[in-house]
Structure 1
């Protein structure tokens, strides 16, 4: 795996990917602060007020809400993906990823459930990951879903929760996801202690946001259990896909986790995108670099569903 950390971190003139250069100039380095959080939450909640016709919104017995995307004309039972949205553990809604979930469902002919887990600091660890677990067990029991072919995935904090969920399902032994899709996952709280990570190329999420998100999520939790990258035993986890840009705050922690997965015997595909900032594919989903990133995720899922068949 190429070590691209030196070429990006600490550089004064960020070398953005050509597809992202124009928009990167206008992207803020930090969006979330304790002051802006209530406003951003209000705006994101408004986004999810209307449910499109092709989306089913359901409330599970546990009280967790799920948005369901079902493919048409596909033989059942079909594979499924539990998707977990990002937002630094402190904001975001399942509705923000409607278009992405729709693309997964269409592209792969699978059922996709997007989980509206409860957010920190009101609901710190372990509530969000337990909400995801409740959604996963519910999804695996749907008549249209093949319980042997269910994958989990998420972006940013959602990627961190997907990694936590992979560990939880392994430890409980009730379900066996076929893959974990970790899209620039927020996976290691120790990054906040690192110096020299204030790179001018970072966008949307920087060290100050990271500090805020982790402290809200972890509360009084035992960090050695709550933080995926702190877990000592990674053996027996589902095969992983990890994707991250070189101008992402999580670049180093993600590649370190990938190395540890491989060392534990877990197959792990790594996709490093030169000059990409955090959340680039959400900001510019139609850019060639974002399409290739998404295609790589679909290829991994397709393979995982086929291997289990």
Structure 2
């Protein structure tokens, strides 16, 4: 594994970990971590997960991006595109590889960012969204969450204490989960991470909704979602699939009965193994046929 800086901004380096197949011209999977835009890091990809992609014939580029609410979502989206553009323009010189094709794979907030990248980068060959979302205007994201209201209420003073006055590119769930929980309980999460009011700024917010940016130019998409997801409702992937279908975009929708958020962490479960095998088949189909 090799760590490189793909972008510098405000005196801060944005890093990516590159896991090589050992071949010069393997396709690249850009791996985007989740964490509600508020926590996470490039190191969240497990070693065995990177090896799974490598063994299937794909390099992996697991990236950091600036975190919210210190950085707003429009700027975070730019980081993802800049990581892709770095691969397209610099990987040959820096890493000594050819990049015949690029896919983005994301989980939760990373799944959202993968879908948004698909809407904005026409040269991508595939997008995989694990329990991601395409609409930031829906009630689940803009109203107090009944699921999170069942958990201990986070006081505003504690939430405010978790916000820094500097750019963050990685943070632990233990450190920042309380901030996410507070905003989901208050129904203020979208406003916190975008800086936009869900009613007053609907036009600007629409630009950040992949579901509103689906055209026939969208790359092939795989959507994976647990039907009992308590964090991001499965309807988000169903809606995205509907829009992709209407636009004539190749896509695969996989929903898992009885499964919640983070279902793919249950590696010993046969249904999960089958789904992960489907993901690799999807990536092979769209990355190795170029």
TM-score, normalised by the number of residues in structure 1: 0.71
Deviation larger for 262-271 or 182-191:
182-191
Q: Aligned pair 1:214/2:197, yes or no?
A: no
Matched with 1:183 is: 130
For structure 1, list consecutive stretches of 5 or more residues without a partner in the other structure. 1-54, 171-175
Aligned-pair CA distance for 1:80: 0.7
Q: Decide whether aligned partners of structure 1 residues 100 and 82 sit closer, same or farther in structure 2, where only a CA change above 3 A counts.
A: farther
1:71–1:186 distance in 2 versus 1, CA, 3 Å: same
Q: Distance in 2 between matches of 1:110 and 1:293?
A: 18
Aligned residues: 244
Q: In 1, Cα distance between the equivalents of 2:275 and 2:283? A: 13
CA distance in 2 between partners of 1:288 and 1:145 (Å): 35
**Mapping of residues 158-237 of structure 1, within 5 Å:** 158-170=110-122, 176-192=123-139, 198=146, 208=184, 211-220=187-196, 222-229=204-211, 231-237=212-218
| Aligned CA-pair RMSD | 2.8
Q: Distance in 1 between matches of 2:119 and 2:186?
A: 22
Matched, 1:287 2:269: yes
| TM-score normalised by the chain length of structure 2 | 0.75
- In structure 2, the CA distance between the partners of 1:155 and 1:163, relative to structure 1 (3 Å rule), is same
2:75 to 127, 132, 138: 127
Relative contact order higher in (CA < 8 Å, ≥ 6 apart): 1
CA distance in 2, matches of 1:132, 1:275: 32
Runs of 4 or more consecutive aligned structure 1 residues displaced over 6 Å after TM superposition: 194-197, 202-207
- The separation in 2 between residues aligned to 1:234 and 1:241, in whole angstroms, is 16
Does the CA contact (< 8 Å) of 1:157 and 1:187 recur in 2? no
Distance change in 2, residues 1:196/1:274 (3 Å): farther
C-alpha contact (below 8 Å) 1:83/1:112 kept by paired residues? yes
Structure 1 position 265, deviation (Å): 1.1
2:145·2:187 contact (CA, 8 Å) conserved in 1? no
Mapped partners of 1:212, 1:104: distance in 2: 37
In structure 2, do the counterparts of structure 1 residues 241 and 83 end up closer, same or farther at CA, with 3 Å as the change threshold?
same
Gaps of 5+ in 2: 152-176
1:306 counterpart = 2:279: no
Residues 204-228 of structure 1, C-alpha deviations (whole Å, 9 max, x = no match): 9999369454222211371010121
Asked if residue 276 in structure 1 is aligned to residue 259 in structure 2, the reply is yes
Does 2:91 correspond to 1:151? no
Matched, 1:57 2:3: yes
